[in-house]
A = this chain, B = another copy of it.
Amino acid sequence: MSLADRNQHIAPFYVMDLLARAKQLEAEGRDIVHLEIGEPDFSAPQPVVEAMRDALAQGITHYTPALGLPELRAAIADFYQRRYGVDVPAAQVAVTPGASGALQLICGALINAGDRVLMADPGYPCNRHFVRLFGGREWSVPVGPESRYQLTAAEIRAVIKGASAAELAQIKAVFVASPSNPTGTLLSQGELADIHALCQERGWWLVVDEIYNGLIYQVQEHTAAGYGLDDESRTAVVNSFSKYFGMTGLRLGWCVLPNTLCNAVERQAQNLFLSPSTPAQYGALQAFSGETAAILESRRQAFEARRDYLLPAIRELGFDVPVEPQGAFYLYADSTAFGEDSFALCEMLLDQAGVALTPGLDFGEHRNRQHLRFAYTREIPVLEEAVARLRRYL
């Protein structure tokens, strides 16, 4: 078929095989509890939905500027001021087709063929593909409970120590995610500042994925957007309307960028995406209202209650979660109590217990057969049913 070589390096997600199997079981009449899904069960908040419906009723369906409606960029800038006390000029906010669009544009503007990007393993599986898209390659750093499954400055220093000068010269950027998918753990403000300082020292870019910000439990939320104001900061912050704001299928995200990077991202966006979805942008204008904020806060509390139920429950079942996750809606569990092959375990739990989970294979290579991910994106009674089923089977 003479396809491009890169296709060989883009494996389908393993969870897709499980999903296909789950569908088959459901078609046969079996009831499956879905804890594999990385998507909130809530729909977009009502004020967002109403704003979209109003814009549509007014016939507002045309293109917007490539980096989004000026009033939405201003609203996002204002959000940083109100929520974090951080001053972000609206001109340095780029609205994108999802955080995926932001990650692609940032990589497109930064990565040359041969460049390497440091990132945590386990981590968000698509990141390596965004880098590879442009001829770069991920430099996966195994992380574990010692660093709360986060890439820290200490771990980056260990990489530097073990690398040759030629290898170091290839490094272009560091990607971190706080809270992280699949682990739900955070970098503290101090840890993030240390990484930024180290990147500054080395002349590397720092790309911070904050798409689960907002879904944070018991600890203080922070942002790297404060670093991103001038070109010399070399910091890009990615966020999304999908997770905290519950707007997954509307495909809208944003990033905060230094001016020169923002200009490069704009030119790429003009060519590659034309513009983000117009109805979604009109919806997003209501994402920061007081009414929406109240809805989102009650949802955040619901996620926290789910975590507070599910975490001790799966620990009691025998799964090891050595670090308490304080964000997102994931528990990344060590499953070695049930054998050394978490993918086989996922298959068995689906078939025998009717519970769908995501295998560690989808998040990297480091101890990936010893882990699986629970997403607490279902209501507590559903989580209770899942735990009861797992208890009976295990």
Contacts and interface: CB of A to CB of B under 8 A. Distances in A.
Contacts of A254: none
Contact of A56 (B49, B126, B246, B272): B49
Interface of A: 1-7, 10-13, 16, 39, 43-44, 49, 52-53, 56-57, 59-64, 97-98, 100-101, 104, 108-113, 115, 125-126, 129-130, 133-135, 172, 203, 205, 231, 234, 246-251, 258, 260-261, 264, 266-268, 270-280
A135 B133 contact: no
A371 to B, nearest CB: 21
B129 A272 contact: yes
A44 B61 contact: yes
A5 B64 CA distance: 28
A109 B278 CA distance: 28
Nearest to A61: B44
For the complex formed by this chain, how many copies does it contain in all? 2
A205 B2 CA distance: 9
A116 B63 CA distance: 31
Nearest to A101: B273
B273 A98 contact: yes
A136 B181 CA distance: 33
A1 B261 contact: yes
A52 B108 CA distance: 32
Contact of A98 (B4, B7, B274): B274
Given A59-B44, A272-B130, A267 B10 contact: yes
Contacts of A11: 267
